[in-house]
Structure 1
């Protein structure tokens, strides 16, 4: 009659170079898992933590595995934790949540994006084989298969609650005056709801992308941006800047500028005053400078994306605003 095998007998069959083969995969999956669990703790993420028993400290301990002996020890003492680390790491690596991790790996290894993707594919193949090995040898109670399905289901709920950001439509670099103009436009539009009663202000408030809460993320981004620094913009972000600049331009050529308290800062200059000052200076007036920058940016957007439906819609909305001035 055969003797029942001990729970850890299968570990003796693992080759001595197994850790060396798995090291990159363990590291990448561990970083991806840590990235996921370090995000704000909403309901799905708390559920994942409860299902797996993993948290950032536990993940850090598993990420400290640095030898074949330590790997075997972890497989003896906490195989389910290692299983869940690989499982959550795999799920994360297949989404945009892993972007910071992959960017870090690219910088650290000084490799091209294509090489990062090849490394990720290789690591996923290894982790897939390792998970299958664990599912074959770990105790079946509670069922690993059902556990995996539960984790994958909750992870899908998490992804649904945190959709991937839109891909960049353009990367821009603003000069110092352009950056100041962008900041001014956003802050100006942000302040319009508190500027009082006016049909134009009411019409602007009806545009969802120009409401204060919608503007605040871009205001924050531009507040830390340096002149000449690259700024990647998704199409919704580009459209938001386009509309904000257009609204800013409209404010500067209307009586609304007085309502927001900037009339004295940017006084109207009559044609006679312009003619009288022409010999002395070639600098445009404040309002004229604003108009030129607004016009330059909006023309660039329209020229660069002539067929973009979102831009056409935004332009129609802006044109409709003119009727309220």
Structure 2
């Protein structure tokens, strides 16, 4: 045993028995976190912690004091991050399925579950503090305590991203509406990059209409079906709002022909145009009707919303560049 591991001798012989429920609960919570779809926020957590599902499952297999000591000698940071990320997750709604499973498996009441959770969190926090005293921080970080702040910040960013991605509205688009939504998003990312037209340059500068930002929504709409529920998060509402406004401006101006985009972006088929309510006399009117309808829907459903207000101001500024 190295000198840096000598602190493990001070752990009581029944320490694993004390920590059993904590390891199990935090391990399940960490797995729940790691089961989330990959995003920049989850990637950041992984970059900082190095924790993955395989590692958590291996640590969840600890079943004795000797195995716990071996893990603390071999991969103390993995144990640390399991407890840290598991504890952070247990404080959020992400842990709901874990807690429901534990309550059912242990046949305990809601009150008893709360007591168990409090006990496990207190023991985990105490042991995290002990680990921070004895375990070396990852390379490039002055201390494990400072590293912890970085992980907690990354986790907070993950929660914020989860909150932003929650659906705030649901559409059931008609075929022509879905068609124009797809077209509007594609148009926003297809304006020539090398153009000197001020309108196109202004569109390319909008944060919500950046190609990388729009890719997930473009993919979602590509698989969406007419008349089927289409849940939208607040960022997606803003993206569609601005993209449709841009589309409407382009189609009422000569920008399509000016930039040679007419052949690349066919509008509505005759059948789709007739499906619009009321049936417009031309494709230009059809696009205008759909854009106007979506704008009214946004204004009715999100009155006074600051994100919509900001998006509207940015759109109004675009009109000056046509």
Shorter-chain TM band = 0.5 to 0.7
Shift of 1:233: 0.9
Shift of 1:170: 1.8
Decide which of 173, 176, 180 is 1:175's aligned counterpart: 173
Shift of 1:8: 8.2
Q: Which residue of the partner structure matches residue 261 of structure 1?
A: 261
Q: Which residue of the partner structure matches residue 48 of structure 1?
A: 49
Q: Which residue of the partner structure matches residue 244 of structure 1?
A: 243
Determine if contact 1:25/1:127 at 8 Å carries over to the other structure: no
Q: Distance in 2 between matches of 1:39 and 1:208?
A: 18
Q: Which residue of the partner structure matches residue 305 of structure 1?
A: 302
Decide which of 13, 17, 23 is 1:11's aligned counterpart: 13
Q: Secondary structure at the match of 1:287?
A: helix
Determine if contact 1:48/1:154 at 8 Å carries over to the other structure: no
1:147–1:254 CA distance, 2 compared to 1 (3 A): closer
Runs (5+) with no aligned partner, structure 1: 1-5, 270-277
Decide which of 50, 58, 71 is 2:55's aligned counterpart: 58
Decide which of 134, 156, 160 is 1:164's aligned counterpart: 160
Matches within 5 A, 1:193-232: 193-194=192-193, 196-227=195-226, 228-232=228-232
Q: Which residue of the partner structure matches residue 273 of structure 1?
A: none
Q: Distance in 1 between matches of 2:242 and 2:133?
A: 58
1:29–1:71 CA distance, 2 compared to 1 (3 A): farther
Residues 98-133 of structure 1: CA deviation (Å, up to 9, x unaligned): 84xx47659989x9xxx99x9689536414325536
Q: Secondary structure at the match of 2:304?
A: coil
Question: How many pairs does the alignment contain?
Answer: 286
Of residues 71-80 and 310-319 in structure 1, the stretch that sits farther from structure 2 once superposed is 71-80
Q: Which residue of the partner structure matches residue 152 of structure 1?
A: 148
1:265–1:175 CA distance, 2 compared to 1 (3 A): closer
TM-score (norm 1): 0.66
Residues 254-299 of structure 1: CA deviation (Å, up to 9, x unaligned): 21232343279459x9xxxxxxxx9xxx843333222221111111
Runs (5+) with no aligned partner, structure 2: 1-7
Q: Secondary structure at the match of 2:170?
A: strand
1:207–1:87 CA distance, 2 compared to 1 (3 A): closer
Say which one has the larger Rg.
Answer: 1
1:119–1:289 CA distance, 2 compared to 1 (3 A): farther
Shift of 1:55: 5.0
Shift of 1:324: 3.2
